């Protein structure tokens, strides 16, 4: 019998070879050395640390700290999202083209309106271009210790993100009612409330809820820079190599993230149902109940955190803030420092690219059982594994990997790979489940081995989606890679952390500028890549 062969094998091999050639320098920059994982000494340290995981810490005093930190984490996320919402609504209203009066036709304010929107878009890019952890690191210094810095950091970054997405959601819907209202002389607020919101409210709310879920994950790690919550506890336990405390905290992470997931899923399903029933804003008893719940959660968060925002806005606080941010200018642009920052940026890109690639490979492998191809038991098991992988934030993985692989960029690669394979695995599994089964079934019936049937029957159906997901995560991972250095995992973060510790703010601001540039470049690059892939020639 002739051995079944993959006819596209030479092409695939060539592509693989090309990829290796491109990836090789990235591997060198990222210090990609998997064998260090198996060095006897590293195995011993990691083994000793993991052995201390059992039993997880359950001392009374520690549990009290843990409970408090968990509540603080939730409160930071909730208050942060509330602040983000307050910021995002006016920003989105001013920057969306759906409410543009000047686009209606040539008028007195046309040029000014365009300028204003352009400026606002730049503001939004700066707000969301810097990772929330960098904002938190900066705010911890000015606004003092504790959760206020975390709330403000979340508020600014997520405010930028929400504003952008709100604006896009408003633009993507049917704009004719709003336009008609504006043309008839309605104010923007009227046009928003009566022309746009009825069509977009569900999507807006759903996205806000999803962002809250992300904020919970983000506020978990805020503590790594001293901004309160669970991260602060985790940071200390990891530094002291206290395995049993780390184990309890990791379990808490897992529970918290799964609970936030479930709650957000529930809320969004309810919204979906409401959408199906009434079409427009369903303002029934249930909505009222949710609003009440939301109100009390917000109030509770503010009271629990004792934010004292009024004190932040006092004259002395404002002067010290101005002093502090003034110290960041002018940027240090000396050639030596620029070279160091450039190298850090390269390392960051290498970390993110390799981490995402590993994650895409591992995610695909895990997605096969998770999509139910090998039975129920395997499906449940891998789904749990994927949830566990993604519920541990990248930064926490990085602290763990710094033990397993040593400090440096390789730990960052592993950290990104672990977290992202959890995320991508879940998305890939969904894509595989939704793939039309017929091409594969036809191949199988014709006697094709199942491996080849997968390559030719299923993969072509899902690969554009898989690639799009991976690219999107890569974009996010570049931002993430920039901050993994806070815990010693290489890249720009390490430079920023050291320079801020030494109060060398001029150098620190060069690093921040580099992060911002990287983020903007990635935004533009991935938008271009997606367009290219979507175009028929790509």
The binding site for another protein (CB under 8 A) comprises 39, 41-42, 44-45, 61-62, 65, 86, 90, 108-109, 112, 140-142, 144-146, 187-189, 223-226, 232-233, 235-237, 239-242, 298-299, 302-303, 306-311, 313, 316-317, 320, 324, 402-403, 406-408, 488, 497-498, 500-504
Residues 259, 264, 267, 268, CA torsion sign: negative
Minimum distance of another protein from residue 407's CB (angstroms): 4
- Least distance (Å) from another protein to the CB of residue 250? 17
Nearer to another protein, 498 or 516 (CB): 498
Question: Residue 138 in contact with residue 102, Cβ under 8 Å?
Answer: no
Task: Bin 174: left if φ > 0, else alpha if -120 < ψ < 50, else beta.
Answer: beta
Distance of closest approach, residue 405 Cβ to another protein, in angstroms? 9
Quote the least distance from Cβ 431 to another protein, whole Å. 39
Separation between Cα atoms, residue 42 and residue 44, nearest integer Å: 5
Least Cβ distance, residue 513 to another protein (angstroms):
19
Phi, psi angles (nearest 5°) of residue 228: 80, 180
What residues contact residue 188 under an 8 Å CB cut-off, 6+ apart?
93, 99, 101, 182
Specify the residue, 26 or 238, whose C-beta has the smaller distance to another protein: 238
Nearer to another protein, 56 or 525 (CB): 56
For another protein, the closer of residues 411 and 522 by Cβ is: 411
Q: Which is nearer to another protein, 7 or 326 (CB)?
A: 326
- Based on CB atoms, which residue is closest to another protein, 70 or 470? 70
Give the nearest distance from C-beta 151 to another protein in angstroms.
11
Residue pair 98/177 in contact (Cβ under 8 Å)? The answer is no
Complex with another protein: residue 62 or 207, whichever CB lies closer: 62
232: nearest Cα among 242, 219, 241: 219
Share in percent of the chain as helix, strand, coil (round to 5): 80, 0, 20
- Distance CA(239)–CA(223), nearest Å, equals 13
Q: Of the two residues 309 and 516, which places its CB atom closer to another protein in the complex? A: 309
Closest CA to 236 of 72, 405, 62, 76: 62
Tell me the closest approach of the beta carbon of residue 27 to another protein, in angstroms.
Answer: 17
3-class state of residue 313 by DSSP: coil
Which residue has 């000396």 as its token pair? 334
Cα separation of 128 and 240, whole Å?
Answer: 33
Q: Nearer to another protein by C-beta: 343 or 378? A: 343
Place of tokens 């049993």: 244
How many angstroms separate the CA atoms of 394 and 478, rounded?
A: 12
Please state the closest distance from residue 86 (CB atom) to another protein, in A.
Answer: 7
- As measured in angstroms, the least distance from the Cβ of 352 to another protein is 21
Picking from 347, 333, 383, 356, the residue whose alpha carbon sits closest to that of residue 477 is 356
Min CB(211)–another protein separation in Å: 20
Q: How far is the CB of 399 from another protein (least distance, A)?
A: 10
CA distance 205 to 193: 14
Please say which residue, 56 or 372, places its beta carbon nearer to another protein: 56
| C-beta of 135 vs 497, nearer to another protein | 497
Nearer to another protein among residue 145 and residue 521 (C-beta): 145
CB of 112 to another protein, least distance (A): 7
For 288, residues 6+ apart whose C-beta sits below 8 A from its C-beta are none
CB 53 within 8 A of CB 276: no
Give the other-Cβ count within 10 Å of 254's Cβ. 14
* 8 Å CB contact between 213 and 260: yes
First to last CA, the chain: 38
* Angle at 492 (CA atoms; ends 231, 498), nearest 5 degrees: 70
């Amino acid at each position: 019998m002739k051995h079944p062969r993959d006819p596209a094998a030479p092409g695939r091999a060539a592509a693989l070879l090309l990829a290796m050639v491109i990836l090789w320098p990235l591997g060198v920059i990222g210090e990609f050395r998997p064998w260090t994982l198996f060095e006897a000494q590293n195995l011993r340290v990691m083994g000793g640390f993991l052995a201390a995981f059992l039993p997880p810490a359950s001392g009374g005093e520690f549990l009290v700290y843990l409970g408090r930190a968990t509540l603080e984490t939730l409160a930071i996320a909730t208050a942060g999202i509330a602040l983000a919402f307050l910021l995002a609504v006016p920003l989105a209203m001013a920057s969306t083209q759906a409410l543009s009066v000047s686009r209606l036709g040539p008028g007195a304010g046309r040029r000014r309106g365009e300028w204003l929107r352009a400026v606002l878009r730049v503001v939004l890019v700066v707000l969301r271009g810097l990772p929330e952890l960098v904002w938190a690191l900066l705010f911890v210094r000015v606004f003092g210790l504790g959760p206020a810095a975390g709330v403000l950091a979340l508020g600014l970054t997520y405010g930028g993100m929400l504003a952008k997405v709100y604006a896009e959601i408003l633009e993507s819907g049917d704009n004719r009612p709003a336009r008609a209202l504006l043309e008839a002389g309605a104010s923007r607020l009227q046009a928003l409330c009566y022309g746009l919101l009825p069509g977009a409210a569900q999507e807006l709310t759903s996205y806000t809820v999803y962002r809250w879920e992300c904020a919970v994950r983000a506020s978990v790690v805020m503590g790594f820079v001293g901004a309160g919550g669970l991260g602060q506890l985790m940071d200390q336990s990891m530094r002291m190599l206290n395995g049993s405390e780390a184990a309890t905290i990791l379990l808490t992470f897992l529970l918290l993230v799964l609970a936030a997931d479930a709650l957000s899923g529930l809320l969004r399903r309810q919204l979906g149902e409401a959408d199906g029933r009434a079409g427009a804003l369903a303002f029934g008893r249930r909505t009222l109940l949710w609003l009440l719940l939301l109100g009390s959660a917000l109030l509770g968060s503010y009271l629990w955190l004792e934010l004292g925002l009024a004190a932040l806005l006092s004259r002395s606080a404002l002067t010290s803030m101005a002093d502090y941010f003034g110290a960041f200018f002018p940027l240090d642009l000396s050639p030596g420092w620029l070279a160091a920052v450039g190298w850090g940026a390269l390392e960051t890109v290498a970390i993110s690219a390799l981490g995402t690639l590993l994650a895409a490979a591992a995610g695909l492998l895990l997605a096969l059982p998770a999509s139910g191809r090998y039975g129920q038991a395997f499906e449940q098991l891998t789904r749990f594994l994927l949830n566990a992988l993604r519920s541990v934030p990248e930064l926490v993985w990085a602290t763990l990997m710094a033990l397993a692989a040593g400090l440096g960029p390789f730990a960052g690669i592993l950290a990104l790979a672990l977290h992202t394979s959890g995320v991508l695995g879940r998305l890939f599994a969904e894509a595989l489940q939704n793939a039309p089964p017929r091409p594969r079934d036809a191949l199988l019936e014709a006697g094709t081995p199942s491996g080849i049937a997968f390559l030719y029957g299923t993969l072509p159906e899902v690969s554009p989606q898989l690639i799009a997901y991976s690219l999107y995560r890569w974009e996010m991972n570049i931002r993430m890679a920039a901050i993994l250095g806070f815990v010693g995992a290489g890249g720009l973060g390490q430079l920023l952390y050291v320079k801020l510790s030494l109060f060398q703010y001029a150098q620190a601001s060069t690093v921040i500028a580099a992060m911002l540039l990287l983020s903007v470049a990635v935004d533009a690059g991935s938008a271009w890549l997606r367009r290219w892939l979507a175009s028929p020639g790509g």
